[in-house]
């Protein structure tokens, strides 16, 4: 598929629209909310809470990628999740902490980061131009 100005891959990149940027920011915030909620749910009902928290993250990332037809949408949601969870791992000066040193907490942290990467990498991205044909034909 070639456009009038040369091959499709040689076309200059266009900046995303304001609506798409707002959608990515919203998904980032929603990912942070899902991460904070998962941090509270996963130790409460182990192992069901852990599975529920990880399923919520995977659903958010895959749903974002399908809704916006973009892998960047899954990465935005996963990035918000990761940032929120990493910030929640720090302990406070008073000695309070949210994550105990247990296997479930480590599975939540590492499994959630792995899920975010997997969803952002393997989620279906849209083809430029909307066609279903391969780019080289």
| Tens digits of pLDDT across the chain (137 residues) | 445 565 666 667 788 889 889 999 999 999 999 999 998 898 888 888 899 999 999 999 999 999 988 899 999 999 999 999 998 888 777 766 777 777 788 898 899 999 989 988 887 765 555 555 555 55
- pLDDT given for residue 93 in this prediction: 76
State the CB neighbour count (10 A cutoff) for residue 129.
10
- pLDDT given for residue 120 in this prediction: 86
Q: What is the pTM of this model?
A: 0.77
The C-alpha angle 85, 90, 94, rounded to 5 degrees, equals: 135
- Angle formed by the axes of helices 103-122 and 71-88, to 10°? 160
State the CB neighbour count (10 A cutoff) for residue 127.
14
- pLDDT given for residue 8 in this prediction: 60
């Amino acid at each position: 598929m070639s456009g009038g100005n040369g091959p499709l891959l040689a076309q200059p990149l266009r900046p995303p629209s304001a609506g798409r940027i707002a959608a990515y920011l919203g998904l980032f915030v929603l990912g942070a909310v899902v991460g904070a909620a998962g941090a509270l749910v996963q130790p409460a009902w182990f192992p069901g809470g852990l599975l529920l928290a990880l399923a919520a993250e995977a659903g958010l990332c895959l749903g974002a990628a399908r809704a916006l037809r973009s892998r960047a949408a899954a990465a935005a949601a996963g990035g918000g999740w990761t940032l929120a969870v990493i910030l929640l791992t720090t302990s406070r000066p008073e000695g309070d902490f949210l994550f105990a040193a247990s296997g479930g907490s480590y599975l939540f942290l590492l499994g959630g980061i792995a899920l975010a990467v997997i969803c952002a990498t393997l989620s279906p991205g849209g083809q430029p131009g909307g066609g279903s044909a391969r780019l080289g034909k």
